[in-house]
Amino acid sequence: MKFAVTITLKNDVLDPQGKVVGQTLKNIGIKNLNSIRQGKFFEIDLDESDSNKGEKKVKEMCEKLLANQIIEDFQIKKI
């Protein structure tokens, strides 16, 4: 069973990367860009058939390691 995890900076937390990337996009001629924020992405393959249990596992991974909950939020999706 596969899960997709996206980890994003909490609102109000400075995103230095997003800032520079957004500026560069504008410089190379991309218009209409309101904002861009950068985060992390994980593709996780679990040996688990119960999707509830799987999701719980992934949540545990996020909390214990993948996300830094002081500055980041995470989202889990089954794929």
Residues near another protein, by CB under 8 A: 9, 12-17, 19-21, 23-24, 27-28, 38, 64-66, 68-71
CB 5 within 8 A of CB 62: yes
Residue 69 interacts, among another protein, its own copies, none and using kind-specific CB cut-offs from 5 to 8 Å, with another protein
Residue 32 interacts, among its own copies, another protein, none and using kind-specific CB cut-offs from 5 to 8 Å, with its own copies
The sign of the CA dihedral 15, 21, 24, 26 is negative
Q: How far apart are CA 61 and CA 56, in angstroms?
A: 9
Kindly state whether residue 61 participates in binding its own copies, applying the rule CB under 8 A: yes
Q: What is the DSSP letter of 54?
A: H
Kindly state whether residue 52 participates in binding its own copies, applying the rule CB under 8 A: no
